[in-house]
Structure 1
Amino acid sequence: MRLNEHVKLVGNRVLLVPYEASMVPKYHEWMSDATLRDLTASEQLSLEEEYEMQLSWREDNDKLTFIILCAETYERTKDEITAMVGDTNLFIHCDEESGDCVAEAEIMIAAVEARGKGYGREAMLLMLKYAQTQLPLKKFEAKIDIDNAKSIRLFESFQFVEVRRVEVFHEVTFDRAITAAWLAWLDEQVQLKCEHYGAIDKSS
């Protein structure tokens, strides 16, 4: 999505930046891990296909993605590729019954050394806050592998509610309606966890 091609979201421990072509080789290396692909329900792609996917994330109006950087590493190195630890994505679609605009949220901390440090929670808070201010959304949802207990707990902590469990796909779906009460909660969480929150124009 072109919406965020020049946007950097700033938190305390993470930065969210656009997914650039220069980042594809490192991303492709991450996704060579079969366990990571299983947890994220991802297919193994060739490097050429990974570049095509990066371009689709940049161009397609139904996709929004940021690469997650470790803020400390970036501050030390000034190198986005060195600081890469994961990504967060939204797939935008219309609900077939209501016609409402819905965003399916995903989060991945791929770098093993970056797990368990709260980066995923902060990154997802930044993404949720940015998306609800920039897109006409009525609801967020998350589809998670049944065995991915960490992701399930994470989205439950965001007040997402389980609405469907499909054993044949080994998948559980969580929803979060965007209400005034939940937005107040989200703002409070962003202030508590991401006190330096801001959206910066990278092109300037």
Structure 2
Amino acid sequence: MHRHLIDRRATRTAARALPLALAGLLLLAGCGVEVTDGAAPGPSSTVPAAGTATSGPTEPDAPSASTATPDPATPDPATPDPATPDPATSDDPTGRGEAPAVTDPDLTAERDDILSKVTTTVACDGTRVLDTDGAYVRVEGPCDLLTVQMDAGAVVADDVTELRVLGTGVTVFTDALTTLSVSGDINWVYWAGTTPDVTDVGTSNVVARW
């Protein structure tokens, strides 16, 4: 009798404890469920280790001094300037620091015009004096001394050692001329070649190479 009472009490106790055990199992099972707040996981960021190069656009290296293109605006010091004349090749036939004689086309045309209008042709036998006003004279042959004392005329001569112009309004062309003296006014005297020794005591005279 006593044994049966014990068994029933034990059975009741076990029956009462079963719901509690099931509830405990459910609680334990609930602890294993993952609970999320609905937010999607963000991308993971990776920090490169020290000394590791990162990928991406790179800047081109600056050209080195040995491969740099020379500036075309910078002249080469070894190349001479073509605009600068070489003093070693300068031509000074006069010995007076003058440029070589260059015939003026306009003066050549004027001389030819005078020759076309010559009214008198004379030979020079060493000394010649011209005193006919308004004459166009051609003097042929070399002259030691040629004196022009006429007015308003023109003379074309060859080589003259000494030329004296005493008149006014005269045009004289010579080839080689050594000494020139002009005492008249408004005269035009031209020579070819070396510049002569010139003395001009008149006014408004033109003396030059042609």
Shorter-chain TM-score bucket reads: under 0.3
Question: Going by fraction, where is helix more abundant, 1 or 2?
Answer: 1
Question: Going by fraction, where is strand more abundant, 1 or 2?
Answer: 1
Q: Which has the larger radius of gyration?
A: 2
TM-score between the two structures when normalised by the length of structure 1: 0.23
